[in-house]
């Protein structure tokens, strides 16, 4: 299934919803989304992973490559609604220690407001 990425702005937050498989080809699209200078105007980037069925090393690499830039700009990057099979990939690679992963939108918002 090709990746579909939708962006929504809500309360000084960018919400990216990922739908499908994040592989080498679709990671280019995600990289473009995260590289958009407009995103730097916000304090949070929430990534809804509810319909993310697969993530490749290229997809993970996109998030890793933007993590430091977001931290330097004091932008919180928070993942939520992650399927177990995708979360396992993050955990196996130790990325759950570098990135914030929570169960749902409400938890993401409460962490973001800390």
Task: Measure the CA angle with vertex 83, ends 18 and 106; round to 5°.
Answer: 75
In this predicted structure, what is the pLDDT of residue 2?
A: 79
What's the pLDDT band for 55 if we cut at 50, 70, 90?
very high
Percent of the chain topping pLDDT 90: 91
* Residue entry with tokens 């962006």: 7
In this predicted structure, what is the pLDDT of residue 112?
A: 66
Domain 4-112 indexed as CATH 3.40.470.10: no
- CA-based nearest residue to 102, from 63, 53, 47, 62: 47
Give the C-alpha separation, 27 to 31, whole Å.
6
Please check whether residue 78 is in contact with residue 111, taking contact to mean a CB–CB distance below 8 angstroms.
yes
Q: Assess whether pLDDT exceeds 80 at residue 113.
A: no
pLDDT of 70-82, one tens digit each?
Answer: 999 999 999 999 9
């Amino acid at each position: 299934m090709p990746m579909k990425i939708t962006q929504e702005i809500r309360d000084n937050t960018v919400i990216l919803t990922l739908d499908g498989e994040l592989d080498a080809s679709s990671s280019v699209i995600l990289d473009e989304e995260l590289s958009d200078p407009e995103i730097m105007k916000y304090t949070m980037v929430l990534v809804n992973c509810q319909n993310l069925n697969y993530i490749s090393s290229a997809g993970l690499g996109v998030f890793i490559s933007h993590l430091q830039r977001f931290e330097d700009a004091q932008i919180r990057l928070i993942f939520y609604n992650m399927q177990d099979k995708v979360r396992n990939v993050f955990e196996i690679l130790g990325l759950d220690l570098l990135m914030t992963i929570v169960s749902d939108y409400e938890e993401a918002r409460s962490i973001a407001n800390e």
